[in-house]
Amino acid sequence: MGKKVIRKSKNTDNTSDLLNVVVDAMHEKKAENIVSLNLSELKNSICKYFVICSANSHTQVAAISDNIEDKVLENLNEKVWRRNGIENAFWIILDYGDIMIHIFQTEQRNFYRLEELWSDAELTQYTE
């Protein structure tokens, strides 16, 4: 299954551009099982999208996070609003307002199963 492109909304925001840059940055660092959850149609959602991926080590989780921040700044001139989990790199969360990025070590992702918690959201899988 190839990379699916999210249609750009009629809004003047750059959510779809941000989504594409994030997914590309994840691919560059060999993230696994990359998915996005479209939360925009769900009542009381905290953002428009969750983007989730897995990695096999602390080092790779941190590298993916760093690459996302670098590529978003370089391509869209946006800085991350908030970040959590950098200290231990089991699960790093990057908050870009409309998009919340979750970078898990595989074991933690299997434990927390965010995709199941937000199962009403439209899920898109990304492969290279």
The domain segmentation of the chain, as residue ranges, is: 15-126
The pLDDT tens digits of the residues spanning 2-53 come to 444 433 333 346 899 999 999 999 999 999 999 999 999 988 888 999 999 9
Q: How far is CA 46 from CA 36, 41, 105, in A?
A: 14, 11, 23
Q: 15-126, superfamily in CATH?
A: Beta Polymerase, domain 2 (3.30.460.10)
| pLDDT at 13 (0 to 100) | 62
Global confidence as pTM? 0.88
The pLDDT tens digits of the residues spanning 96-111 come to 999 999 999 999 999 9
Query: What is the Cα–Cα distance from 32 to 40, expressed in whole angstroms?
Result: 24
Task: Please give the mean pLDDT across all residues of the chain.
Answer: 90
The pLDDT tens digits of the residues spanning 66-120 come to 999 999 999 999 999 999 999 999 999 999 999 999 999 999 999 999 999 999 9
Q: Give the E-state strand segments of the chain in sequence order.
A: 32-38, 49-55, 82-84, 91-95, 99-105, 122-126
